[in-house]
Amino acid sequence: MNEVCFKNLDQKDPWSLKTYEANGGYSVWRKILKGELTPEQIIDELKTSGLRGRGGAGFPTGLKWSFMPRNADMQKYVVCNSDEGEPGTCKDRDILRYNPHSVIEGMAIGGFVMNATKGYNYIRGEFMEPFYRFEDALKEAYAAGLLGENLDGSSVSFDLYAHLGAGAYICGEETALLESLEGKKGQPRFKPPFPANIGLFGMPTTINNTESFASVPDILANGGQWFADIGVENSGGCKLFSVTGHVNEPANFEVPMGLPFKDLLEMAGGIREGRTLKAVIPGGSSTPVLTAEAAMAMTMDYDGIEKAGSMLGAGSVIIMDDSTCMVETLTRLAHFYYDESCGQCTPCREGTGWLYRVLKRIMDGNGKADDIDLLMGVQDKIMGNTICALGDAAAMPVESFLRCFREEFEYYIEHGKSMVKG
């Protein structure tokens, strides 16, 4: 446990440059500055490692980096996505607070690989403590000659800046994030063109999640195979899981991919006293909910979770015990998407409000017999029809809650009150 992003966690001032370097930090970057590593070697190692994007979509990082037109004669950018806002997710905050240099080194390496001399870390506006930590780390790195122009006399340059959000979940979507970085409202762009061709300020840009970047230095220090071996087939390495909800010791755990869910549950102290597991959302609020039974049989890796009927997403494991009213929970999630829809595309703008209002009406005791079909119909009409995945993210919980816990909804509609809470 805690082998990569969290490996300094229990040391003194884990966030300091001193601690980071004492644990081998910046060794890869220094090798690069000495000319001992080529972009191709790095991409190969990343591909071998099986590292997949930790922001939710799980796209192989090595492959993504290989898409950048590194020889194009224009400014290129690397951008780190620290907008962490998916309900249930709180790992990037801890990486920024406790291991900011790993993000800096990961981004610098990315900059070298993709021939991008500038980077921005987009940190959500509420994360002020992590922001200051990151800014301090930047200062340390600049002072140590690890960032800047023509570093160590080489031809390698990398400047890195922190940018702050101002409260909008949608800015976690990579193209909304770019819009926001350009000082606009965070409305996702349609694709193509992809950021690798037209990204920040119209220039080629690669965006990765905080944890993805933070994983890169250790992968390169220890070799891609080392990382791949930690995990399982198709899911290399270890991953941070934020286990929250009805467990005794909610926390972030960096564990090998493929760990059985029940072991993870145990690490988090198990279900609260006197209660039993009812449901699990394994990857953050946008991923389908699973019944206890499906969850208990699941392993924590991309394929394992998919087999169970959901997605690994950002690794945010939300545990619900038998006291949970699923109607109430879904209503809360529906409110979230309704609240956070950027509003540009019709199905999401109109549909998220519709879903929320129907659920709210059911909660108010005014449910109608055909509301379940209506909800199913509306989510289906949003699904796949929008610019960004927020539309799908709003649809999937509705579909899965209704599929897995239909009787609770029927009960609520019929009796005007919760089957669980009365």
Q: Which stretch binds other proteins (CB under 8 A): 24-32, 39-47, 337-345, 407-415?
A: 337-345
CA 27, CA 56: separation in Å to the nearest integer? 29
- Interface with other proteins includes 242 (CB under 8 A)? yes
C-alpha distances (whole Å) from 262 to each of 21, 225, 259, 317 are 35, 27, 8, 12
- Token pair of 168, please? 């909008």
Which of ligand SF4, ligand FMN, other proteins, none does residue 165 bind to, with CB < 5 to 8 Å depending on kind?
other proteins
Which of ligand FMN, other proteins, ligand SF4, none does residue 174 bind to, with CB < 5 to 8 Å depending on kind?
ligand FMN
Asked whether the beta carbons of 289 and 281 are under 8 A apart, the reply is yes
Write out the binding residues for ligand SF4, residues 364-393 only, by CB under 6 A: 386-388, 390-391
Amino acid at 100: P
The three-class DSSP label of residue 269 is coil
What would the x/- binding string for ligand SF4 be over residues 276 to 295, using CB under 6 A? --------------------
Longest dimension (CA), the chain: 74
- Token pair of 404, please? 């897995």
Residue selected from 83, 105, 140, 218 as contacting ligand FMN according to rule CB under 6 A: 83
Closest by CA to 288, choosing from 402, 168, 372, is: 402
What would the x/- binding string for ligand FMN be over residues 285 to 304, using CB under 6 A? --------------------
Q: What element of type H or E holds 106?
A: helix 100-113
What would the x/- binding string for ligand SF4 be over residues 324 to 343, using CB under 6 A? -----------------xxx
Residue selected from 156, 358, 375, 402 as contacting other proteins according to rule CB under 8 A: 358
Task: Give min distance, CB of 18 to other proteins, in A.
Answer: 25
Decide whether 16 or 175 has the Cβ nearer to ligand FMN. 175
The three-class DSSP label of residue 291 is strand
Write out the binding residues for ligand FMN, residues 205-244 only, by CB under 6 A: 207-209, 212
C-alpha distances (whole Å) from 221 to each of 25, 63, 65, 226, 377 are 9, 19, 18, 10, 50
Positive or negative, the CA dihedral 184, 190, 193, 194 is: positive
- Interface with ligand FMN includes 84 (CB under 6 A)? yes
Binding site for ligand FMN (CB under 6 A): 53-57, 59, 81, 83-86, 170, 172-174, 207-209, 212, 388-390, 393
Q: Which residues bind ligand SF4 (CB under 6 A)?
A: 170, 188, 341-345, 348-349, 386-388, 390-391
